[in-house]
Chain A
Amino acid sequence: MAKTQADELAVVGKSLPKPDAMGKVSGQARFADDLMLPRMLFARILRSPLPHARIRQVDASRARAMPGVQAVLTGEDLPIKYGILPVSQDEEALCSEKVRYVGDPVAAVAATDEWIADAALEAIDVSFEALPSVMSIDEALAQPGEPIHPRGNVHKAVALEFGDTEEGLRSADHTREDVVFFEGNTHLPMEQHAAVAQYGQDGKLTVWSSTQTPHYVHRALGKVLELPMSRIRVIATPNGGGFGGKSDIFAHEIVAAKLAMVTGRPVKITLTREEVFYAHRGRHPVLMKVRTGFRRDGRITAMQFQSFLDGGGYGSYGVASTYYTGALQTATYAIPRYRFEGVRLFTNKPPCGPKRGHGTPQPRFALEVHLDKVADELGLDPVAIRRRNLVQPNSQTVNWLRITSCGLEACMDRVVADSRFLERRTAMPSGRGLGFAVSSYLSGAGTAIYWNDMPHSEVQVKVDRGGGVSVLCGAIDIGQGSDHILAAIVAEVLGVSLQDIQLTTADTDLTPIDLGSYSSRVTFMVGNAAIAAAQRVRQRLAEAAARMLHCESDELSFRGGQVGRRDHPGEAISFAQTVQAAEAGEGLISASGSYTPPKLAGPYKGSGVGPSPAYSFSAAVVEVECDPRTGEVRVPEVWIAHDIGRAINPVLVEGQVEGSVYMALGEALMEEQTFRIGVHKFPSMLEYKSPTTLEMPVVHTSLVESLDPEGPFGAKEAGQGPLLPVIPAIANAVYNALGVRIDEIPITPEKVLRALAQPSRRVGPKGVPRFAFPSPIQAARPPEWEGK
């Protein structure tokens, strides 16, 4: 069915080059750092050299006196605190009382060139009083000295229970507990963050920024600068990679704006690569304990999951991240009773936040490795134990997630068959192994970051007499292809070609709101808004065409730049003529469309994180080749299937899937954001190891199209989900190859050798620290689970 419908589509479903592709490869795309304005100043930020310290005094008088220095800002110039989540307004653009990690901003300089600004930073005298620093989950809980924030080092502790899990564990035939750790890592986008700000004589502020969330930046600027939002314009420039790392409010954006206001001149600030490691907001280090009960046949009776998140110095998205470490376990497996306890701790490191898969790769690693171990104990194979527990389409999970379309089983079947997993895994040559895992992810968060009833995405479509179609939308293309999705959907509905579409995106003055490129929401939400807008325009055009063609408007088809009668192929007029006729009749033809996700949150506190209008599903088989002498792990081949709902542009989806495999490989085998005496060990691209093209395996990508009933043309997400199964599949493959369990990401050669030398054949955490979680909120279960 997918096939025939796809055949009728002209643009959607076709592998086409992205509209921004040529600009990017030819150097014409204008990134934030490419912008040059007359009389522009260059700014640099002075950052804390200490992980935890009180600021006694900041003396900028020497810097202010330097020729070429136009302004110096310190904490007292920007006293209002902010944060991406309304509940975590704990950041200052420039610290005034305390610094909380090496790299925390303290002062800023605008000068006529970057070298002068750099020199001026050295002339700012800051007197610090060093405080004991907290660099790990254990240390944060031990609370040796002054806590990092006044309310203590525990940022957020949550506990939820759906059904009596103790009872579920007691009635199980078999229970197992595992403790695993996932080290933090960072996004490593190719483009460093950059922002340019200009403050006009008219009292209006414009900020260009390499951001994934122009709308949230807009709100935060209004708050911190005490300007009405109507006087601020935020323009998101093309992102040279985001991966979640540009979805926060950053000090440099606020500082550039303030400096522009103070000096009356445009100000540019581009972070150095080193600073990007401090800006961070990347993957949380998470320590996890999972305890599950099973029946003899492998069916889950209950699960208890605990996570300890090492959050870094500030809140950022951390409250959401904490909930996410417990939210999606139930989206792949039918778990009848479930308890989740999570705690996020402040430490003196760069703040963690969302990175591709936000809060879910860590628990997914824990869960998929845990299931493989249980399968071993129950004498089941890794595929069988998952089949016993698979979530069903059109069902509701115990924590109230609404599952609609679900191609999980098809994904599993595909990779298991293509890799011949079951036949080969028991007969691998020495040092070789196969591993398997599955996962699920949201197609957009069902709730906005700040509570409101307005649409999450809005699109305006305007047609002109020449046949051109302008599409305006707040969405920002971060490389994932949102520009293509917008253009393709409108082109499809109006029957014009991609080249006829003009996009204006991510400009708060010109475009209606989209909440941002995060949580894999853009295709789903922008896509639906674009369909709504384009259909309204089409309806008005159809009425004009119907008058000219003497027929009813519902007899018309829009295709190939023509509007014609479906059953009388000769009778048609061009799209441009149609526009002219409509415009002559009623004036400018333009319409807007919006998308608001259905209200899906369950009836309990904390239910806002997890619900999504649709879930994607993935399955992966990874083959590894291990060297038992050096402990090195190579990945020659990966099979991955992803339930995309419908691929609006298959080549873009494949790109997202392959990119996810690549990123997962780095996280699984080498990437780590780690510290020594409070200092980042390797804030450089040479020493922070991520894979190169030489490490990239052969990837067999299969797309499964489950045609989601609410997705635009049936589409769901692709940007994050496919990362999730790859990391545990690698760990499971290493076990298959060498018989060792590395219960700690990344799986480095040293850990493999250590495990090989140990009687337990395992490297990983021994337990979780003592922590008194609040007593869980006892949430009702959806009716279908009652009595189970």
Chain B
Amino acid sequence: MRSEMDVYVPRTLDEALQQKSAHPDAISLAGGTDVMVEINFGRLRPAGIIDLTRIPELREWRREDSHLFLGAGVTYSRIVRELADFVPLVQASRSVGSPQIRNRGTVGGNLGTASPAGDALPVLAAYDAEVVLQNRRGTRSLPWHTFLQGPKKTAMAPDELIRGTRWQVVNGPGSFSKIGTRNAMVIAVAGLCLQVDQDARQVRVALGSVGPTILRAPEAERFIAERLTWDDPGAPVTDEVVAEFAELVGRAAKPIDDVRGTARYRVHGCTVLAGRALRWALEERKAFKWL
């Protein structure tokens, strides 16, 4: 049924926050690449829409000391163009949908949808990012895993907006990779981000599309942190160690069968992606001075 719907077009963040608190049942709209699909298929009938695309504050990113702050409204296309230093984030952004989707879609929208298949999310998890929320009274920051509560469920209150996400800039190689039927327009069957944090002496691994929400692989992370010679990037790592690490990552996955793939194939996919991502990182670690 077509029903009348209010569309708010705030020009400033303040205006948006006011509207969100006055109309908590209105839905925020960034690129609309998730929202419009839901509306067009009749699965979503919001009382109103708050269009966030005209708010300059949401479209910025900046370095804050040793952190990076990424505004919720920065599109994937801009990330690819402007944030080349953040290799896994760029790789994930480049793998989203098609050029049209990347021109519209935002990381804030990816967080808002909170799909386990959101490609930016494993990267934020591997960065140990926090999500910055704001309402009329102020802001709060939640660790990514507190923000993401389950499939399509977040800790965001009805009067809040996602301001952006922030993480400590990591020193070390990393990558994002995914398995899907084709090279574009593909929702991942399995996605993985691996980030080496040379300073914290950690290897962080996050998985997408293989559980109700984004998963980290703590056992695998502990295992590999103990096996690496942190002061000597040239020290060899045996195939057995890589294989065991990959195996442990696979065990962290909790997938289900669905139309895109079977649970078995997804676990297997995580194992393959993990082994490859670790190999790439170790190679890169040798080639550059991260120390």
Question: B181's closest neighbor in chain A, by CB?
Answer: A689
Please tell me if B139 contacts chain A, counting CB pairs below 8 Å: no
Contacts of B182 in A (CB 8 A): 670, 689, 691-692, 694-695
Q: Which of A77-85, A112-120, A236-244, A722-730 lies on the face that meets chain B?
A: A112-120
Q: How far is the CA of A695 from the CA of B2 in the complex (A)?
A: 40
Contacts of A670 in B (CB 8 A): 181-182
Question: Contacting A682 at CB < 8 Å: which of B179, B183, B259, B261?
Answer: B259
Please tell me if B265 contacts chain A, counting CB pairs below 8 Å: yes
Contact status B265-A750, CB under 8 Å? yes
Contact status A687-B260, CB under 8 Å? yes
Interface range, A side:
20 to 34
Q: How far is the CA of A455 from the CA of B262 in the complex (A)?
A: 53
CB A184 to nearest CB in B, in angstroms, measures 15
Q: A116-B2, A750-B261 are in contact. Are A686 and B268 (CB under 8 A)?
A: no
CB B149 to nearest CB in A, in angstroms, measures 25
CB B105 to nearest CB in A, in angstroms, measures 13
Please tell me if A39 contacts chain B, counting CB pairs below 8 Å: no
Contact status A118-B268, CB under 8 Å? no
Among A118, A681, A748, A749, chain B packs the most CB atoms within 10 A around the CB of: A749
Contacts of A676 in B (CB 8 A): 259
Q: How far is the CA of A753 from the CA of B269 in the complex (A)?
A: 11
Contacts of A629 in B (CB 8 A): 272
Please tell me if B186 contacts chain A, counting CB pairs below 8 Å: yes
Contact count A vs B, C-beta below 8 Å:
47
Question: B41's closest neighbor in chain A, by CB?
Answer: A274
Please tell me if B1 contacts chain A, counting CB pairs below 8 Å: yes
Please tell me if A122 contacts chain B, counting CB pairs below 8 Å: yes
Question: A695's closest neighbor in chain B, by CB?
Answer: B182
Number of interface residues of B (CB under 8 A): 20
Q: How far is the CA of A118 from the CA of B186 in the complex (A)?
A: 30
Q: Restricting to A72-119, which residues have a CB under 8 Å from any CB of B?
A: 115-116, 118-119
Question: Contacting A119 at CB < 8 Å: which of B1, B184, B259, B268?
Answer: B1
Contact status A630-B261, CB under 8 Å? no
Classify the secondary structure of A's interface with B.
loop
Please tell me if B185 contacts chain A, counting CB pairs below 8 Å: yes
Contacts of B1 in A (CB 8 A): 118-119, 122
Q: A115-B2, A670-B181 are in contact. Are A687 and B187 (CB under 8 A)?
A: yes
Q: How far is the CA of A685 from the CA of B98 in the complex (A)?
A: 12
Contacts of A681 in B (CB 8 A): 259
Q: Restricting to B249-286, which residues have a CB under 8 Å from any CB of A?
A: 259-262, 265, 268-269, 272
Q: How far is the CA of A457 from the CA of B208 in the complex (A)?
A: 57
Contact status B259-A118, CB under 8 Å? no
Q: How far is the CA of A577 from the CA of B98 in the complex (A)?
A: 56
Question: A634's closest neighbor in chain B, by CB?
Answer: B183
Contact status A692-B272, CB under 8 Å? no
Question: A681's closest neighbor in chain B, by CB?
Answer: B259
Q: How far is the CA of A629 from the CA of B265 in the complex (A)?
A: 11
Contact with B along A712-750 (1 / 0, CB 8 A): 000000000000000000000000000000000000111
Q: Restricting to A39-86, which residues have a CB under 8 Å from any CB of B?
A: none
Contact status B272-A694, CB under 8 Å? no
Among B181, B262, B272, chain A packs the most CB atoms within 10 A around the CB of: B181
Contact with A along B165-182 (1 / 0, CB 8 A): 000000000000001011
Contacts of A116 in B (CB 8 A): 2
Q: How far is the CA of A676 from the CA of B259 in the complex (A)?
A: 9
Contacts of A630 in B (CB 8 A): 179, 268-269, 272
Contacts of A689 in B (CB 8 A): 181-182, 186
Contacts of A691 in B (CB 8 A): 182
CB B116 to nearest CB in A, in angstroms, measures 16
Question: B261's closest neighbor in chain A, by CB?
Answer: A750
Q: How far is the CA of A686 from the CA of B185 in the complex (A)?
A: 6
Q: How far is the CA of A115 from the CA of B39 in the complex (A)?
A: 12
Residue pairs across A and B with Cβ atoms less than 8 A apart, 30 shown, are A115-B2, A116-B2, A118-B1, A118-B2, A119-B1, A122-B1, A629-B272, A630-B179, A632-B179, A670-B181, A681-B259, A682-B259, A685-B185, A686-B185, A687-B187, A687-B259, A687-B260, A689-B181, A689-B186, A691-B182, A692-B184, A692-B185, A694-B182, A694-B183, A695-B182, A748-B181, A749-B265, A750-B261, A753-B265, A753-B268
Closest A-B pairs by Cβ, 5 of them = A115-B2, A694-B183, A689-B181, A119-B1, A681-B259
Known: A119-B2, A687-B259, A692-B183. 12 other contacts (CB 8 A): A118-B1, A118-B2, A119-B1, A122-B1, A670-B181, A676-B259, A686-B185, A687-B187, A689-B181, A692-B98, A692-B185, A750-B262
